[in-house]
Structure 1
């Protein structure tokens, strides 16, 4: 049950996916072959893999990935594997077999160090993967890459193609040092605001730390060490944290910008004492209730018209 897609720069092997429509098939280049069958809805995991090194490390990475995939995951979840190299040269595949009890999808992306080719491949790949995500009850995206350009391209196209929703867990496995990751964490919504964590292989020890970026904390935005994996202890979650923490339950007083213009009875403005603008209306009261629950401050950005807003 399933099918095969051959991409110009990628090969995709799927045990399930909904059929592509006639219009979508017409858009595919001639080098595409599409053989999809429609099957039952299944949870799925998406894994994007790059290159690891020796045999022992491959085994350890496989064990770590398998253990982290299992945290909070349903035993019936399906697994999507996306790789830009021979999967057997990246990690021990058998270490993940206990995770994919129902279905597997594999996408292979050629690693030719050409940014243009990478972005082109992702632009073709992401819409197909989004179909798989929409068929799934739960989804995990695991990106393994040691190339900041690839991580940037993935972040860009995952947002453009709407691959991720908050329920989609994203884990990045990389040898990039934390200072190299900081620009990616702050520049891309995929990593800063989505349900994302980073498994670091940069440590020379056999302990692999897991980090996440929290945009709202009492100390402001920061990278937090949320867990570790070791061969002896397995996954150890840092006290007071979660592997995939909720990022938006408390904004800690952060100012949230809002654009609004008077439109009774939804949004009304009047001047109070000291020439302070006072707000009212159904939309404002709804927003104020949300701000109170999530602990953020409303800041109405001054604007004269919606045309001005659209120009910003």
Structure 2
């Protein structure tokens, strides 16, 4: 456990909570407990123990499944997590790798250390875990009965099970870990094996889907997807050295979780590992985040909900709503003042005659101007002769 302690004490791992998973009670010795206590993990160290693991025992499988589910819950709560698995049982290691992948317990942000004294020939069940997750293998080298050193190995992503592990460093007893740059190297920058990845897609606006004849395709034709997202895939494929092919889901949806726990659409293909990744854009939700890893946002947009109107209703008194009562009161007082002034000035004409029919015109003309109502030329009446009397 000194090698594990040396790794956990590096600055890169100190800010992450540590989970130790054991299946052999004899591993919990005084040196082991001392190593756990002195591990400089600021968020603490939690030890999970599965006693007497048996591949054919239901109790052991249930306990291991429960432990894997707890690791998944903790991984969703923390931005980083270090999981250390210590075992010399190949069946236990294979079962942990299978369940952790099947139940999506280990995200890329979760760092996995597998420490064992087994030979590489007994670790075939760890290939999927070591190659497609942020994992390292610590393999103890024995000199007679004592451990002379620990080799640090990583597996290239999308490599064959028969491919050899790549040794990145060696730790020797009574030394500190000096090569922190070798810890959890970024494996998904450039693929050395040039794999062919399967990408789930769905038709989006400004994109096109079509089928082309291709004798190298599984069913003799290839799905062609054109648009902005396809250009993004081409950019990554060229930089990361991979080829790809597009596939569609059976129900042609982005996917939702059913009551029985299964998924439909593109999310279902990702969860069942029928595709390597899905080309969104996906709207994130807690259930989707818990089911699969997601990248940083590649597009941000605003969305609005629109509903139809029940019908246009005209309010005959709607013209009163824009102005307050004080404004209308002031307006009416000013209107009365204007009417009074017009009546006084129009009562006597310059020629000394009084027009009796001027009263109604003086009343309605300011009101018509206030309501912005026009006056037809055909309605203008001139006073007949004899209506004006001499004063």
Aligned partner (choices 140, 143, 152) of residue 82 of structure 2: 140
User: What is the CA RMSD across the aligned residues, in angstroms?
Assistant: 3.6
CA distance in 2, matches of 1:163, 1:90: 30
Q: CA deviation at 1:131?
A: 2.4
Q: Structure 1's 75 and 251: CA in aligned 2 closer, same or farther, altered over 3 A?
A: closer
Aligned equivalents of 2:2, 2:83: Cα separation in 1: 17
Q: Within the alignment, does 1:281 sit opposite 2:227 as a pair?
A: yes
- Within the alignment, does 1:245 sit opposite 2:185 as a pair? yes
Shift of 1:282: 3.3
CA contact (8 A) 1:184 1:191 kept: no
Residues 239-279 of structure 1: CA deviation (Å, up to 9, x unaligned): xx72211111112433323466887742434769xxx9775
Number of residue pairs matched by the alignment: 240
Q: Quote the Cα distance in structure 2 between the aligned partners of 1:112 and 1:243.
A: 30
| Alignment partners' CA distance in 2, 1:159 and 1:254 | 20
Q: Kindly indicate whether residue 234 of structure 2 is the aligned counterpart of residue 293 of structure 1.
A: no
The 1:164/1:112 distance shift into structure 2, 3 A limit, reads: closer
Q: Does 1:79 align with 2:21?
A: no
The CA distance in 1 between the partners of 2:156 and 2:231, in whole Å, is 28
Range with greater deviation from structure 2 (222-231 or 65-74): 65-74
Deviation at 1:68, TM superposition (A): 1.5
Structure 1 unmatched runs, 5+: 1-61
Quote the residue 1:197 is aligned against.
Answer: 136
* Unpaired runs of at least 5, structure 2: 214-220, 252-264, 275-391
Normalised TM-score (structure 2):
0.52
Distance verdict in 2 for CA 1:255–1:86, change over 3 Å: same
Return the TM-score normalized by structure 1.
0.64
Q: Distance in 1 between matches of 2:63 and 2:28?
A: 22
Equivalent in the alignment of 1:111: 52
Mapped to 2, the partners of 1:134 and 1:283 lie a distance apart of: 28
Q: Distance in 2 between matches of 1:289 and 1:106?
A: 43
Larger radius of gyration: 2
Give the Cα–Cα distance (whole angstroms) in 2 for the partners of residues 282 and 191 of structure 1. Answer: 33
* Equivalent residue, structure 1, for 2:125: 184
In the TM superposition, residue 191 of structure 1 has moved relative to its aligned partner by 2.2
- Bigger relative CO (Cα 8 Å, ≥ 6 apart): 1
Q: Distance in 1 between matches of 2:158 and 2:7?
A: 24
> Is the 8 Å Cα contact of residues 214 and 247 (structure 1) preserved in structure 2?
yes
What residue in structure 2 maps to residue 36 of structure 1? none
CA contact (8 A) 1:118 1:150 kept: no
The match for 2:207 among 263, 266, 276 is 266
Q: Displacement of 1:109 after TM fit?
A: 1.4
CA distance in 2: counterparts of 1:203 and 1:264, whole angstroms: 61
**What residue in structure 1 maps to residue 5 of structure 2?**
66
Q: Residues 224-239 of structure 1 correspond to what in structure 2 (within 5 A)?
A: 224-235=166-177, 237=179
